[in-house]
Amino acid sequence: MVGKLIIASFLTGIISGLFIVVYELLILFLTRVLFMGDPFETIPQLPAWYLYLVPTVAIFIVNHIRTRDKYIGEYGLNEIAESISENRMTIRIKTLFLKIFASALSISSGFAVGTEGPSSVIGAMVAHKIHSFLRLPAMLVKMMISVGASSGVAAIFVSPVTGIAFAIEHIAYQFIKQYVAYLILGSIIAFSVSAKFLDSISFSNSVGKMVDYSYVIPVIVFIPFITSFVYLYLFLKKRLLHFIDLEIFKNFFAYRNLIFSLIGGSVIGTILLIEPHAAFSGKTMLIHLINSREHIPLLTILVIILLRIVATTVSIYANAVGGLFLPSMSIGALVGYGYGEFITQVHHLPLEPFFFAAVGAAVFMGVIMKLPLTAVVLALETTFDYNVMAATAVSVVLVSYLSSFYFDIQKKYVTKADRIVPKSDKAVKKDPK
C-alpha cells in the first residue's frame, strides 16, 4: 500500500503541475487575445464599448457553463471530498477541462478572482482520478484530494511549502500524522514541474535573518489600520450579498445568468476604463508593489483599493470562476503600501512601503480566508525575510481577533441565490408523480 501511495503522490504531482502550467499559460494567452496585447498597455487605446462587451460576454459564457455542470464553480475541498466518498459526486474529465476554461476566461476578461481556488480543485480532481485508476481504498479519498490540492497550490504559486501548509490548514487536519509525507511529495513534484515554466511571487528586498527593530512600533500601528480595511471589505461584501440575494434573485431568479452578466460586465468594464490595475487577478500588481522603490501617490493607491474591493466583490457574485487568494493579497498589498507611503511622508520615518505591502498581502489573505498558518508560511517563503514573517505572524492573529467582533468570516462565500429553489421546482418536489 505504501508503494501505491508513493506512486499516486508522484503521479498527482506531475500531472497537476502540467495542468496548472497549461491553465496559467491559457490565462496569459486569452488575456492577450481579448485585449489585443498587454492589457495595461492596450486598454487606454480600446473603445469603451469593447471594454464593457468583453467581460459581459465572458461572464455570460461562464455562467452558461456553470449551469450545465454545477461542479465547475465548486471550491469547497471538504465538500468535494465528502461528496465523493459518499457517492454523491462524480468528477469527469470534461468537468476538469471546463473548469480550467471557465476560470481562465473569467480572469483573462478582467474579473478580479484568483488562480489558487481553481488550482487546488484541479489538483484535487486529478488526484481523484489517480485514486480511481490505482484502485486505492475508499478511505483514502480525502487524503488523495489533500495531496492534489496541495500540489495545485504549490504549482500555481511555485511555492511548495505554501502548498503543503494550505492543504494541511484547509482540509487535511486528520491526515497530518499519517499522510503528510505524501502531501510533501506531491507538492514538491508539482512545484518542480511548474518552476520550469512559471515565475513565482518573489521579494527582491529581503534582508534574510537580520532583524530591524525600527519596524516594531509602525507594525503595531499598522494592525488597526489594516483592520479598518478588512472591515470595509467585509462590509461591502455583506451589503452587496444582501442586495443581490434579497432584492434581485427573489424576483428575477429565471434571469439570473443574464443579470449576473450585465452586473458583472458593466462593473468590470467601468473599472477597466478607470484603472485597469484594479481588475484581473492582481498578481502583476502584487509583485510590483512588494518590489517597487518608486513612490506611488496616496490618492492613486486609495482609488485602486476601493475599485479593487468592488471588483473582487462583484466578480465573486457574478459567478466568475476563481479564488480569493490572489485578489485579497493584492488588496492587502495596496493597503500596506499606502500605509508605508503615509507614515513615510507624514512622519519622515526611514521605512520602506514595500515592506508593509508584503506584510499586508499575507495578512489580508490570511484573515479573509481564515488561513493564518498559510499566511505566515507564504510570507516567509516568498520574501525569505524574518522581519516580514514576524510582522505577518503577529498581525494576522490580532487582525483576525479584531475582525471577529463584528464579522463571522467563513472560508467559503456563496450567494443564497445558488440555493434558491424556483416555485416550479418546489411544486415538482411536493408531487412524487
Between CA 209 and CA 413 the distance in angstroms is: 38
Q: Looking at the structure, tell me whether residues 233 and 182 fall in a common domain.
A: no
Predicted model pTM: 0.82
114 and 64 in a single domain? The answer is yes
Domain annotation covers residue 221: yes
Q: Is residue 204 part of a domain?
A: no
**Is the domain of 360 the same as that of 314?**
yes
Q: Are residues 302 and 188 in the same domain?
A: no
The answer as to whether 424 is a domain residue is: no
d(CA 200, CA 194): 9
Does residue 274 belong to any structural domain of this protein? yes
C-alpha cell at 262: 450585465
Tell whether 190 and 314 lie within a shared domain.
Answer: no
Together in a domain, 72 and 149: yes
Nearest by Cα to 377 from 198, 159, 113? 159
Q: Which of 24, 121, 114 is nearest to 69 (CA)?
A: 121
- Of the candidates 288, 265, 282, 271, which has an alpha carbon nearest to the alpha carbon of residue 325? 282
The answer on 237 and 376 residing in a single domain is: yes
Residue that terminates a domain, selected from 195, 228, 255: 195
Per-residue confidence (pLDDT) for residue 85, from 0 to 100: 58
pLDDT digit string (tens) for 350-384? 778 889 999 999 999 999 988 898 899 989 888 88
With b for 16 or more beta-carbon neighbours within 10 A and e for fewer, the 383-418 pattern comes to bebbbbbbbbbbbbbbbbebbeeeeeeeeeebbebe
Task: Give kind and range of the element (H or E) at residue 301.
Answer: helix 298-317
- Residue 207 lies inside a defined structural domain of this protein: no
Domain that holds residue 39: 2-195
The per-residue pLDDT for range 276-289, each reduced to its tens digit, is: 888 888 888 888 88
List all residues 6 or more positions away from 92 whose beta carbon is below 8 Å from its beta carbon.
none
Check whether residue 26 and residue 160 sit in a common domain.
yes
- Match 457574485 to its residue by C-alpha cell: 317
DSSP 8-state class, residue 114? B
The domain total for the chain is: 2
Q: How far is CA 326 from the centre of its chain?
A: 5
- The pLDDT, as a whole number, for residue 104 is 94
**CATH number, domain containing residue 354:** 1.10.3080.10
Q: Which three cell numbers stand for residue 27?
A: 490565462
Q: Are residues 282 and 380 in the same domain?
A: yes
Which of the 8 DSSP states describes residue 279? S
The residue among 169, 195, 221 that closes a domain is 195
Q: 219 and 353 share a domain?
A: yes
pLDDT tens digits along 155-197: 988 888 887 887 777 665 555 666 778 888 898 999 899 988 9
Whether the Cβ atoms of residue 65 and residue 101 lie closer than 8 Å to each other:
yes
Q: Are residues 266 and 117 in the same domain?
A: no
User: In a 10 Å sphere around its CB, with 0-12 CB exposed, 13-18 middle and 19+ buried, how is residue 317 labelled?
Assistant: buried
- pLDDT for the residue numbered 430: 41
Intervals of the chain under pLDDT 70 = 74-91, 170-178, 240-254, 293, 348-349, 409-433
Question: Running DSSP on this structure, what letter comes out for residue 278?
Answer: G
Does 206 fall in a domain? no
Residue found by looking up cell 510582522 in the block: 391
| 33 shares its domain with 153 | yes
